Amino acid sequence: MKALIQRVADAKVVVASETIGQIGPGLLILVCAMQGDDTAKSAQLAAKISKLRIFPDDAGKMNLSLKDTGGSALIVSQFTLAGDTSRGNRPGFSTAARPEEGKTLYQQFIKEMSDLGIKTQTGQFGADMKVTLTNDGPVTLWLDV
């Protein structure tokens, strides 16, 4: 699985002019299931993200995790993270999981994050979403498990 995570002051996702997910301080997590991924990869990714020490402590050092801060996660499916631009100018997405598998792993990832005690909000799998955020730092990381 792949994820692009951004430390945010706030973030929200809108579908058809309706806000369906919104958080204050925490992480915006754009997640993509790849061919061959399974629930073990979903659990591994959730565990890694929940423990990443990317929030400032009292001294201003990135030393605290999402769990430490009590922050929230806005989790949005993002199959375009699988985009391959190595040939030509139009990305190919053949390495992404098929939609039904991707949806199952996306839902599993959300469950894993919730089971780890992270407050979660979500986007809508397969929908045309408008995502807004206030990047904090900015801190943006790419994870591949």
Q: How would you class 80 by CB atoms within 10 Å of its CB: exposed for 0-12, middle for 13-18, buried for 19 or more?
A: exposed
* Residue tagged active-site, from 78, 104, 108, 120: 78
The partner residues of 12 in beta bridges, in order of sequence, read 22, 132
Which of 19, 80, 95, 134 is the catalytic position?
A: 80
- Beta strands (DSSP E) in 16-128 are 18-23, 26-32, 55-56, 62-64, 72-77, 119-122
Task: Verify whether residue 121 is a known catalytic residue.
Answer: no
Catalytic member of 79, 108, 120, 122: 79
Does residue 80 carry a catalytic annotation? Answer: yes
Write the DSSP assignment of 86-109 as a string of letters.
Answer: SSSSS-B-TTBPPHHHHHHHHHHH
Structure tokens at 97: 């999981």
Q: Is 79 a catalytic residue?
A: yes
**Active centre residues (catalytic):** 78-80
